[in-house]
Amino acid sequence: MTGTGWLPVALPVALLAVPLLGALGLVVLPHVLRPVLRAYGLVLSGVTLALAALLVATFDYERPASPQFELDVPWIPGLGLRLHLGIDGISLPLVALTALLTFLCFGYLSWGRARAGEFLRARPRALVFTLLVLEVGMIGTFLALDLLLFFVFFEIVLVPMYFLIGIWGGEGRRAASIKFILYTLLGSVVMLLGLLLIWAQTGTFDIEALAAAHGSGMARSVQILAFVAIGIGLAVKTPMWPLHTWLPDAHTEAPTTGSVLLAGVLLKMGTYGFARIAIPVLPEGALAVAPWLGALAVVGIVYGSLACLAQRDLKRMIAYSSVGHMGFVLLGFATLTPTGINGALFANVAHGLITGLLFFLAGAIKDRYHTADMTALGGGLLATLPRLGSVLTFAAVASLGLPGLAGFWGEMLALLGAFRPADGLPRGLFLTYMVIGGLGAVLTAAYFLVMLSRVTHGRPPPLPAEAEAEAVAEPRVVESLAARPVATLAHRDVRPYELLAWTPLVALILLFGLWPGLLLSLTTPAVHTLLGALP
């Protein structure tokens, strides 16, 4: 245990305990909490965010490579399960990102719908409960330093997300949620087998010890087998081509907050697993599988981009764009170089911020137009809703990887890593990956610009109310009067609560884009440590 005083130990526990106790409170005291439900979730996630901020503030930046705020106590001795939590330079940004996005989601829900009088229309208590449990799982995944504990948290996340999509989702929510949970559960089972294989070989679940051992004690074939098994589980979550098909459906049907958390945090858990477990614990396995991983990654980049190019639904397009962006992240990991993995971790965080913002925006558009179909939207968003259009332009430009915004550095470093992959990897192959990835970046720009051109440019179509009035041969006065206020309300520009939810994301995208050193100085030492055993 490092440091003195109670703070180092209490912080990670509190990060988990606050949302967990909050969720329990909803079960124990439903009637007391019902009137203050709106503030309740906001306050709890706010406290969690404050704790995360405290974590960021008290983190020892001199040694980001070693886990800090460690807690290591036996939990279920019979299973060898220990409550081993800790934070290093890799997990710190992700924990902060999770706390921030959850808080923004609560803010979006509580402030926004309150004004319109439709706060959390259906089952508000269940929604707050679901989101809090989700937060426990997400933060726990990033804190866990024990394989089994990691798996437990990894699985906890699935259930609330399933309900989030299945209850509060769109038209086809049932099929989408079932597909989501079956797909990811199946992946998790394979991953569990891989984790158990590691345990069977080394006799420990402790990630720290396993990472320090750098795979000693495991034969190469075992490592490869374990890497493939764990990799499949993580790849489903990431998602990696061709295991991605749950994602578009889940994203399209999920409510805005679900999409934001799904893209912003859940996908990161998959890639985080590569950096935390698969690569440091199984270095030889990683070396053997990396060319395949890289190949699937670049296929994902190009495939995702092409799929986006022909997509008509805005949310679906953003979902497919995640496949492409996660391809860059996986390519970075596949290079097994400090540069590439740094890039992967950076792109991870950047994608969380940018795609989170994009889904917020897509949700805002869907709220107003009741559709996310680009042809139905008809264009001219910059004329009808100039601010929303501007923020959408910003987010799209950030997502296509413009330097000076967060999206660029991760992808650039991933490509740079592929230019000179780790010794022992076929260089020519990775050069090919780099070129394909670069072309994928052009395609990424293409689909985002085409989307912007379709949605924000051009002349706006007539308002629905007017169109209706024109369509009816004998317009009845009462109807058109009734329809008009709805239309004008629906077409209001960015509202204050939306601005509050989006501004932090915009600011962070700019900050990390202009000063990438902030994140890179945090991850670089940790990356060097985790790659210790590789040649």
The residue from 14, 47, 196, 306 that contacts another protein (CB under 8 A) is 306
d(CA 341, CA 326): 13
d(CA 486, CA 464): 10
Please report the DSSP string for 421-442 in residue order: PPTTS-HHHHHHHHHHHHHHHH
Backbone angles phi, psi at 10, to 5 degrees: -70, -30
Report the residue number, 161 or 382, with the smaller CB distance to another protein: 382
Least distance (Å) between residue 36 CB and another protein: 34
d(CA 219, CA 471): 73
The residue from 2, 221, 503, 521 that contacts another protein (CB under 8 A) is 521
| Residues from 389 through 418 that contact another protein (CB under 8 A) | 390, 397, 402-404, 408, 412-413, 415-417
Provide the pairing of β-strand 81-87 with 68-76. antiparallel
CB 61 within 8 A of CB 522: yes
Q: For residue 511, state whether it binds another protein (rule: CB under 8 A).
A: no
Q: For residue 458, state whether it binds another protein (rule: CB under 8 A).
A: yes
Report the residue number, 216 or 245, with the smaller CB distance to another protein: 245
Q: What angle do CA 37, 40, 41 make, to 5 degrees?
A: 100
d(CA 321, CA 524): 27
| Residues from 285 through 304 that contact another protein (CB under 8 A) | 303
The residue from 383, 472, 481, 486 that contacts another protein (CB under 8 A) is 383
Whether the ω angle into residue 242 lies within 30 degrees of 0, i.e. cis, is: yes
d(CA 398, CA 404): 9
Report the residue number, 78 or 428, with the smaller CB distance to another protein: 428
Report the residue number, 375 or 521, with the smaller CB distance to another protein: 521
On the CB side of 308, how many CA atoms lie within 13 Å of its CA?
A: 33
Least distance (Å) between residue 116 CB and another protein: 23
Q: Which stretch binds another protein (CB under 8 A): 62-70, 75-83, 162-170, 337-345?
A: 337-345
Q: Which stretch binds another protein (CB under 8 A): 202-210, 220-228, 349-357, 517-525?
A: 517-525
Report the residue number, 10 or 449, with the smaller CB distance to another protein: 449
Q: Is the dihedral of CA 130, 136, 142, 148 positive or negative?
A: negative
Q: Which stretch binds another protein (CB under 8 A): 20-28, 55-63, 87-95, 178-186?
A: 178-186
Backbone angles phi, psi at 143, to 5 degrees: -90, -25
Report the residue number, 37 or 382, with the smaller CB distance to another protein: 382
Q: What is residue 111's DSSP assignment?
A: I
Q: What is the 3-state secondary structure (H, E, C) of 235-267?
A: HHHCCCCCCCCHHHHHHHHCCHHHHHHHHHHHH
Distance between first and last Cα of the chain: 31
The residue from 380, 461, 464, 504 that contacts another protein (CB under 8 A) is 380
Q: For residue 445, state whether it binds another protein (rule: CB under 8 A).
A: yes
Site of tokens 């294989």: 197
d(CA 264, CA 350): 9
Number of residues in contact with another protein under rule CB under 8 A: 59
Report the residue number, 352 or 417, with the smaller CB distance to another protein: 417
**To 10 degrees, what angle do helices 427-455 and 406-419 make?**
160
Q: For residue 442, state whether it binds another protein (rule: CB under 8 A).
A: yes
The residue from 128, 307, 354, 391 that contacts another protein (CB under 8 A) is 307
The residue from 102, 202, 311, 321 that contacts another protein (CB under 8 A) is 311
Q: For residue 504, state whether it binds another protein (rule: CB under 8 A).
A: no
Token duo for residue 496: 């204050």
Q: For residue 271, state whether it binds another protein (rule: CB under 8 A).
A: no
CB 264 within 8 A of CB 336: no
Report the residue number, 120 or 354, with the smaller CB distance to another protein: 354
Q: What is residue 144's DSSP assignment?
A: B
| Residues from 65 through 124 that contact another protein (CB under 8 A) | none
CB 352 within 8 A of CB 97: yes
Q: For residue 26, state whether it binds another protein (rule: CB under 8 A).
A: no
Q: For residue 233, state whether it binds another protein (rule: CB under 8 A).
A: no
The residue from 27, 116, 182, 507 that contacts another protein (CB under 8 A) is 182
Q: For residue 382, state whether it binds another protein (rule: CB under 8 A).
A: yes
Least distance (Å) between residue 439 CB and another protein: 7
d(CA 2, CA 59): 12
Q: For residue 337, state whether it binds another protein (rule: CB under 8 A).
A: yes
Q: Which residues bind another protein (CB under 8 A)?
A: 179, 182-183, 242, 244-246, 303, 306-311, 337-339, 341-343, 380, 382-383, 390, 397, 402-404, 408, 412-413, 415-417, 419-420, 434-435, 438-439, 441-443, 445-446, 449-450, 453, 456-459, 516-517, 520-521, 524, 527-528
